[in-house]
């Protein structure tokens, strides 16, 4: 049994939902959950057809599901415009003048957009895109700060059937260029900059740098002026948002698109090579976003919901843009850092806006714990009724702190497991029904046939670790990797015939709860963000001094995992502290700040087998335990290990 599993097994605290909460919740008992779950697995077509009726369709589907593994089509023959479910339909109800987005800029300004106002902006911007020649299925790259215009840009693409690809504002010019090239975008939407920790992040400058590297098919760049700083504008190509909006018509009649019309591409890290473009389509994705918000966040008209993610990640797509808007809920959106001007910012905002549902990442919670209890203690958090976490396994200490210090011991916590590829939450408690335990995402959501398998494909017994798989298609599943069907099959569908392999290790406890242990592949989870070790390695070897590099993860108190790199320099290059720093910066420059290695260790050679393969297992052991165990007889040169051990020990003592 692995150490991870043992630690989890010692966790026997259970928290049942409060009666008051359950009474009002959509799903108020485990019995109700189990009955619906059974229906959703045995009769997925019946279950999902009923759920889908709650969305706005222009034409009803002829068949709910067409499944030819690994390709699924949901609501075949159905037609819709995703933005009608998110916006138009609310305008005929009491929600028209209700706040859709309450936005706070990092410097402190507040802007509120009602559903009607948001709709108007989206219509106008849809016309801007049309005026600039964007057609259905054209790709539009979005590189924006966390301002309402990021959501407006995404929704405007969806409205005209263009495919958006949002690139997180923390990624580098190189990352933008790679994604531009991969998806063949024709238009880029960006801003002059955004605020982060009191500084301006110069987004337009990164777009310019990216376009210098790869202009490809990009004809137009639309620039939203967030900071008002001067930016270079290329004549004929670059246009200001404001000016384009002023020229555009304010009404836009949405066309209906096929249920399987592509909605967006979002890049995520894999275990090899460049990030892959995960493709999501319209009807099924929207349904996943809508129904998980409805059941897991138990969203209601009177709620004020806040998801602290960035729209550059899948969490921002599903749980800031599509899910909450389809549910017609009021949400808070925040531009900046959690610790600006100090670690009280989130709690001050919860108090100011009377937030009732709050969704964040364990890494943020751990940073708050470290900052001290006096920050949340200074604020009235009594408006909160439900808390959520996402992105990585939550350690019991963080769970308990969240429960007691933020939730006041009264709010259920939904620990939600899912991925960019799954589109929506897959495993999570239902807040009015599921007894929760610190560290487990508990039970699968409706329609999710999750299981843990061993190498032979047999289902693991209780407390036995294995691979997490999903055995049946679900509406919001990714349809493919953009432009790479082979990689799609190989990455997710080749371990077991017809089953989706998530890439996570997990086990089920005696009561059937799923405990996610972590990635099984060479993907790190740094502050809840996925990062391929191969990406960092290739960034390192791009530097003129580096001959070879190997990267592994090491548990990190706040970030979950830290990035540790081992580097062999080219002949004649001498290792020194400046070069070490330069290489760390170089990685940040190539990928983005989240990829900056925590430590770089120089080594005359890396541990290799006699056939020349780097022995990563040994490197992982070295960084986690400080020594290596097991069979090292295949190692070419034992001295290499001693050298690395010394370097790691020195770094620790510094
Ligand atoms: O390892 C799992 C971890 O994050 C991975 C997915 O990362 P990404 O596609 O970037 O999406 C993050 C937001 C959905 C998973 O393979 N992960 C995500 N949520 C959890 C988690 N690990 C444990 N518990 C979770 N609740």
Give the pLDDT band of residue 273 (cuts 50, 70, 90): confident
Digit-coded pLDDT (tens) for 89-146: 999 999 999 999 999 999 999 999 999 999 999 999 999 999 999 999 999 999 999 9
Taking the CA of residue 421 as reference, the ligand 1 atom at the shortest distance is: 9
CA of residue 608 to ligand 1 center, whole Å = 31
Contact 179, 205 (CB under 8 A): no
Antiparallel, parallel or unpaired: β 413-416 and 386-390: parallel
CA of residue 270 to ligand 1 center, whole Å = 13
User: What is the percentage of the chain residues whose pLDDT exceeds 70?
Assistant: 99
Q: Which residue, by CA, sits nearest to atom 24 of ligand 1?
A: 393
Residues lining ligand 1, judged by CB closer than 6 Å? 268, 314-315, 390-393, 415-420, 441, 502-504, 516, 518-519, 525, 530
Report the C-alpha gap between 394 and 411 in whole angstroms: 17
Report the C-alpha gap between 637 and 253 in whole angstroms: 69
* Residue 517 parent element (H or E): strand 514-519
| Residue 525 structure tokens | 């989870």
CA of residue 519 to ligand 1 center, whole Å = 9
**Max intra-chain CA distance, the chain:** 74
Measure CA 394 to chain center: 16
Taking the CA of residue 516 as reference, the ligand 1 atom at the shortest distance is: 23
- Least Cα distance to 505 among 517, 521, 493, 491 occurs for 517
Q: Is the dihedral of CA 436, 441, 446, 447 positive or negative?
A: negative
| Residue 456 structure tokens | 């032979």
* Whether pLDDT at 533 is above 80: yes
Report the C-alpha gap between 180 and 174 in whole angstroms: 10
Q: Which residue, by CA, sits nearest to atom 18 of ligand 1?
A: 391
For residue 488, CA distances in Å to 276, 483, 501 come to 9, 9, 11
Alpha helices by DSSP H, 383-499: 396-401, 485-493
* Whether pLDDT at 7 is above 80: no
Best residue among 265, 289, 311, 391 to mutate for probing ligand 1's pocket (most ligand atoms within 8 Å of CB) is 391
Contact 141, 154 (CB under 8 A): no
CA of residue 99 to ligand 1 center, whole Å = 30
Within 8 A by CB and 6+ apart from 485, the residues are: none
Q: Compare 636 and 216 and report the one with higher pLDDT.
A: 216
Best residue among 362, 516, 523, 553 to mutate for probing ligand 1's pocket (most ligand atoms within 8 Å of CB) is 516
| Per-residue pLDDT, 3 | 59
Mean pLDDT of 470-498: 97
Report the C-alpha gap between 124 and 128 in whole angstroms: 6
Taking the CA of residue 389 as reference, the ligand 1 atom at the shortest distance is: 26
CA of residue 501 to ligand 1 center, whole Å = 13
Report the C-alpha gap between 329 and 302 in whole angstroms: 8
CA of residue 632 to ligand 1 center, whole Å = 33
Mean pLDDT of 246-267: 98
* Whether pLDDT at 1 is above 60: no
| Per-residue pLDDT, 617 | 87
- Half-sphere exposure of 456 toward its Cβ, with a 13 Å CA cutoff? 3
Best residue among 277, 314, 419, 478 to mutate for probing ligand 1's pocket (most ligand atoms within 8 Å of CB) is 419
Report the C-alpha gap between 238 and 305 in whole angstroms: 35
Report the C-alpha gap between 389 and 398 in whole angstroms: 10
DSSP 614: B
Contact 269, 295 (CB under 8 A): no
| Residue 483 structure tokens | 């432009």
List of domains in the chain: 3-84+265-514 (3.40.50.12780), 114-253 (3.40.50.980), 523-653 (3.30.300.30)
Digit-coded pLDDT (tens) for 607-625: 888 888 888 889 999 998 8
Contact 411, 437 (CB under 8 A): no
- Least Cα distance to 189 among 147, 224, 215 occurs for 224
Mean pLDDT of 201-221: 97
Q: Which residue, by CA, sits nearest to atom 25 of ligand 1?
A: 417
Mean pLDDT of 58-78: 98
CA of residue 420 to ligand 1 center, whole Å = 8
CA of residue 541 to ligand 1 center, whole Å = 28
* Whether pLDDT at 630 is above 80: no
Measure CA 590 to chain center: 20
Secondary structure of 621-633 in HEC code, one letter for each residue: HHHHHCCCCCCCC
Mean pLDDT rounded to a whole number for the chain: 95
Report the C-alpha gap between 314 and 54 in whole angstroms: 23
Report the C-alpha gap between 500 and 261 in whole angstroms: 22
Prior bond of 638 cis (ω within 30°): no
Taking the CA of residue 428 as reference, the ligand 1 atom at the shortest distance is: 26
| Residue 205 structure tokens | 């400058």
Mean pLDDT of 393-399: 94
DSSP-based three-state secondary structure for 599: strand
| Per-residue pLDDT, 627 | 85
| Per-residue pLDDT, 4 | 67
Mean pLDDT of 14-30: 96
Beta bridge pairs of residue 501: 469
What's the CA dihedral at 77, 78, 82, 84 to 10 degrees?
Answer: 140
CA of residue 453 to ligand 1 center, whole Å = 19
* Whether pLDDT at 272 is above 90: no
CA of residue 502 to ligand 1 center, whole Å = 10
Per-residue DSSP letters for 486-515? HHHHHHHHTTTTT-EEEEEEEEE-TTS-EE
Within 8 A by CB and 6+ apart from 106, the residues are: 195, 196, 197, 198, 334, 335, 336, 337, 340
CA of residue 392 to ligand 1 center, whole Å = 5
Best residue among 414, 418, 434, 561 to mutate for probing ligand 1's pocket (most ligand atoms within 8 Å of CB) is 418
Mean pLDDT of 436-447: 97
């Amino acid at each position: 049994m692995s150490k991870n599993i043992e630690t989890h097994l010692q966790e026997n605290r259970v928290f049942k939902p409060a009666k008051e909460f359950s009474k009002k919740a959509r799903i108020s008992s485990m019995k109700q959950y189990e009955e619906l779950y059974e229906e959703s697995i045995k009769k997925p077509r019946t279950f999902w057809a009923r759920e889908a009726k709650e969305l706005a369709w222009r034409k009803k589907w002829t068949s709910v599901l067409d499944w030819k593994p690994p390709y699924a089509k949901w609501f075949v023959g159905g037609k819709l415009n995703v933005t009608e479910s998110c916006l138009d339909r609310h305008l005929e109800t009491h929600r028209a003048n209700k706040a859709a987005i309450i936005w706070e800029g990092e410097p402190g300004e507040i802007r509120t957009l009602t559903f009607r106002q948001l709709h108007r902006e989206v219509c106008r911007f849809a016309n801007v895109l049309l005026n600039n020649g964007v057609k259905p299925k054209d790709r539009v790259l979005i590189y924006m700060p966390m301002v309402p215009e990021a959501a407006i840009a995404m929704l405007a693409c969806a409205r005209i059937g263009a495919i958006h690809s949002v690139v997180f504002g923390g990624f580098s010019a190189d990352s933008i260029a790679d994604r531009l090239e991969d998806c063949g975008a024709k238009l880029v939407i960006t801003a002059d900059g955004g605020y982060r920790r009191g500084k301006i992040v110069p987004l337009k400058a990164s777009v310019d740098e990216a376009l210098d590297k790869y202009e490809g098919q990009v004809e137009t760049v639309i620039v939203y002026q967030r900071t008002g700083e001067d930016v270079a504008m290329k004549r004929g190509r670059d246009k200001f948002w404001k000016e384009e909006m002023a020229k555009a018509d304010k009404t836009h009649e949405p066309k209906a698109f096929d249920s399987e019309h592509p909605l967006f591409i979002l890049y995520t890290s894999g275990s090899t090579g460049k990030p892959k473009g995960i493709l999501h389509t319209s009807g099924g994705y929207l349904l996943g976003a809508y129904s998980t918000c409805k059941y897991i966040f138990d969203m209601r008209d009177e709620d004020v919901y806040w998801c602290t993610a960035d729209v550059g990640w899948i969490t921002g797509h599903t749980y800031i843009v599509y899910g909450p808007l389809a549910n017609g809920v009021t949400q808070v959106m925040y531009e900046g850092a959690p610790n600006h001007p100090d670690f009280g910012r989130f709690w001050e905002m919860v108090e100011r806006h009377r937030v009732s549902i709050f969704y964040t990442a364990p890494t943020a919670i751990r940073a708050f714990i470290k900052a001290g209890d006096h920050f949340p203690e200074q604020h009235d958090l009594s408006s909160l009724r439900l808390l959520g976490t996402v992105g990585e396994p939550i350690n019991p200490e963080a769970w308990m702190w969240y429960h007691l210090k933020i939730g006041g011991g009264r709010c259920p916590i939904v620990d939600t497991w899912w991925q960019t590829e799954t589109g929506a939450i897959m495993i999570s408690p239902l807040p009015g029904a599921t007894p929760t335990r610190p560290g487990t995402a508990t039970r699968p959501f409706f329609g999710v046939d999750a299981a843990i398998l061993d190498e032979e494909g047999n289902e693991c017994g209780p407390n036995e670790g294995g691979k997490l798989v999903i055995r049946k298609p679900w509406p919001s599943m990714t349809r493919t990797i953009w432009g790479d069907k082979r990689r799609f099959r190989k990455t997710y569908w080749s371990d077991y015939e017809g089953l989706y392999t998530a890439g996570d290790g997990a086990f089920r406890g005696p009561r059937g709860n799923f405990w996610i242990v972590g990635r099984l592949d060479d993907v790190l989870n740094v502050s809840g963000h996925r990062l391929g070790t191969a990406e960092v390695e290739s960034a390192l070897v791009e530097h003129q001094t580096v001959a070879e590099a190997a990267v592994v993860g090491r548990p990190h108190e706040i970030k979950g995992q830290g990035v540790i790199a081992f580097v062999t320099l080219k002949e004649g290059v001498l290792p020194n502290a400046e070069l070490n720093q330069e290489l760390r910066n170089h990685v940040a420059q190539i990928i983005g700040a989240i990829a900056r290695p925590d430590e770089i260790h120089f080594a005359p050679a890396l541990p290799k087998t006699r056939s020349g393969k780097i022995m990563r297992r040994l490197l992982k052991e070295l960084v986690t335990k400080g020594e290596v165990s097991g069979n090292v007889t295949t190692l070419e040169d034992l001295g290499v290990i001693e050298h690395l051990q010394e370097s790691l020990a020195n770094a620790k003592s510094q």
